[in-house]
A and B are shown apart, each in its own frame.
Chain A
Amino acid sequence: MTEATAKEVGSRSTKPAAEIPRLDLRALGDRAYQIAITAFAAAIPLLLILIAVSILAAAWPALTRSGLSFLTQSRWDVASGEFGAAPAIFGTVVSSAIALVIATPLALGASIFLSEIAPSWLRQPVAFLVDLLAAVPSVVYGLWGIFVLIPILRDPVGPFIRDTLHLGGIPLFAGPNYGYSMLAAGVILAIMILPYIAAVTREVLRAVPRSQREAALALGATRWETIRDAVIPYAKSGIVGGIILGLGRALGETMAVTMVIGNRPEISASLFAPGYTMASLIANEFSEATNDLHLSALMAVGAVLFLVTLIVNAIARWLVWQVARGPSR
């Protein structure tokens, strides 16, 4: 009611105005709008470039001093001015990879169940609970990791993998198992990124047109065949996008990882061995870094982290693009 009257009043008041000025006014508005929108759009990449440039500038002294050995060396010794970030780069990539390996099937399974199979009364509460995982602060995940996950990894999980499954001989599970490990970091990260992947996947699956499913069913496909051959291919690029979103979060996560990974700058093949990540390294050392080279080295770690994220995202874009091309063929 009120809206309608407001519109009427509006149109009545514009009517007496001459045609040409009114057009000009509209053009002016359009122009202002266009400029504003362009400025907003430009601001974001500009900000990104500014951040990249300022990090690179701050990192330059350490990068020029260490050169390529910054990426390849394992020794991080502030006192002697040797900065090798290889263990942290390795740790960031590996812990995120473990997280993806664990979280992706879980998240996909949960969202397929929720969008395709679950009865409607179950759908909302379970979806809500999955989303709630994203609302837990990172430090709480860290505490949970220390007090719950790590004792579990140390006692039932470690001996189970080694003695019951007889996998202790392979390097992946060798060495002492204190619980604080790359595996702990990977599991924590998996739980943290799971809601992101699940939420995106669920929405994407729900966006698949009904006709797609009905067509498959009409052809005599079972429910599983419908999901596999009609629904998932349609939603593929969106699902990959969700996974990438999760990966981005895993790469940058700091607090929870620092609390469970053991913070040891070493490269080890064993999942039970402690490790380090780039984000943890910066968070641990920044507040007490007084000497300029040390600060610069930490900035350089930041730059590498930035670059790794950029590369991963580029690969992801390419993947999404590849996948998106798939079903249209």
Chain B
Amino acid sequence: MKRLTLVPLLLIAIACGGDKQKAGSPANASTRSGSVDLTGAGATFPYPLYSKWFADYANATGIRINYQSIGSGGGIRQISEGTVDFGATDGPMRDDELAKAKGPILHIPTVLGADVVTYNVPGLTKPLNITGDVIADIFEGKIKKWNDPRIVALNPGAKLPSQDILVVHRSDGSGTTYVFTDYLTAVSPSWKAGPGKGKEVSWPVGLGGKGNEGVSGQVKQTPGAIGYIELAYAKQNNLPFAAIKNASGKFVLPSVDAVTAAAAATAANLPPNTDYRISIVNAPGENAYPISSFTWLLVYQQQADSVKGRKLVDFLRWALTNGEKQASALDYAPLPESMVARLKQRIDSIKVGSSS
């Protein structure tokens, strides 16, 4: 009996849904409720924000976007092979990767993230002050004790124990590592000559933990440990983090505002024809947090499927206007206003279909 009464209800619901969409947007007549309109894959770092975007966007427009957070590497691979409509990455694609794609790919920055330096130093009451070259030397194993004169000099009055420093880094390939090593490469010549930058590097010392939770777990548990994790993860889990000396010589604690400030300083001086594959580590600006980075969506400039292409462009515009507002609530830094305006022009440069 129950089943019999449900069937007509279901039919009515389906019919209503179809009607609404036809009335709303004739261009999307092929859209059926329940089917996925766009698919994307890539970075795990912005996934909490993206999944909120996609849910809100589906509520607002009925367009459904399926995103698989398989990692930046997978995102780049899949967009290059054209198996998804858009990719997402925490580290920009290299030239040789771009060359292998099926056409010109645009990098669209969406939000910013940052790495924080977290530590476990018993007896420390104030946030640790630290500079880029000291971090590099710790991670290279040149500074071995917490009461090393170079750390003590940066933290007058702090009680630093004569404890061995245990370096903890990510063992899995990750955009977080890319940003961190990008920063160390920018501030330390010996790091640049040694491990260099990448999603995974050959670490001179230390233990590897899988994921933010692996690194923070090891740091929390081991007195004397130091590691790096994402800002959003650190804030949500109340982990201690260090103030880092920026390019203007000021010690800055990581925060959403300090990260946006890092992008603002860089955005003001962007060349007119930038492809947005830009690094903002060690950015100028008094309040800029130095270990900051964009995260990008990857889309083809030439959209072969006109229906999907139009939907994608609409979504990108929505993300830059409505989506940005939700970022800081989830501990992601929104793009500076000046950049959003320029990015909208860039989205306009996406060519959709053969206009048949």
Contacts and interface: CB of A to CB of B under 8 A. Distances in A.
B200 A263 contact: no
A238 interface: no
- Give 6 nearest A-B pairs by CB, closest first: A288-B173, A263-B208, A263-B171, A287-B71, A288-B73, A77-B202
A182 interface: no
Interface in B75-131: 76-77, 97
Contact of A258 (B70, B97, B171, B217): B171
Contacts of B199: 78, 288, 290
B73 A290 contact: yes
B212 interface: no
B208 A79 contact: no
A186 interface: no
A180 interface: yes
Contacts of B254: none
A291 B91 CA distance: 13
Contact of B166 (A76, A178, A288): A178
Contacts of B97: 290-291
Interface residues of B, number: 34
A70 B77 CA distance: 25
A179 B172 CA distance: 20
B206 interface: yes
Given A77-B202, A258-B210, A289 B222 contact: no
Q: How large is the interface on A (under 10, 10 to 19, 20 to 34, 35 or more residues)?
A: 20 to 34
B171 A290 contact: no
Nearest to B172: A284
Contact of A78 (B77, B172, B200): B200
Interface of B: 70-74, 76-77, 97, 164, 166, 171-175, 195-203, 206-210, 214, 217-218, 221-222
8 contacts: A77-B201, A78-B173, A283-B210, A284-B173, A288-B200, A290-B73, A290-B76, A290-B97
A150 interface: yes
Given A176-B164, A180-B218, A285-B172, A78 B201 contact: yes
A176 B141 CA distance: 14
A73 to B, nearest CB: 12
B221 A151 contact: yes
Contacts of A179: 221-222
B208 A284 contact: yes
Nearest to A180: B207
A259 to B, nearest CB: 7
A264 B207 contact: yes
A288 B208 contact: no
A262 interface: yes
A274 interface: yes
Given A259-B214, A284-B208, A290-B97, A79 B198 contact: yes
A280 interface: yes
A285 B173 contact: yes
Interface of A: 75-80, 146-147, 150-151, 154, 176, 178-180, 258-259, 262-264, 274, 276, 280, 283-285, 287-291
A154 B164 CA distance: 15
Contacts of A75: 202
A12 B74 CA distance: 65
B172 A288 contact: yes
Given A146-B217, A290-B76, 6 more contacts: A78-B200, A80-B202, A146-B221, A262-B207, A284-B210, A290-B199
B74 A264 contact: no
Contacts of A280: 171
B73 A284 contact: no
Nearest to B70: A287
Contacts of B175: 288
Contacts of B73: 287-290
B198 A78 contact: yes
Given A180-B207, A262-B207, A274-B207, A79 B77 contact: no
Nearest to B203: A264
Contacts of A276: 208
B110 to A, nearest CB: 19
Nearest to A77: B202
A263 B201 contact: no
Contacts of A285: 172-173, 200
Contacts of A150: 221
B226 to A, nearest CB: 13
Contacts of A288: 71-74, 172-175, 199-200
Of the candidates A76, A150, A262, the one having the most CB atoms from chain B within 10 angstroms of its own CB is A262
A179 B224 CA distance: 13
B201 A264 contact: no
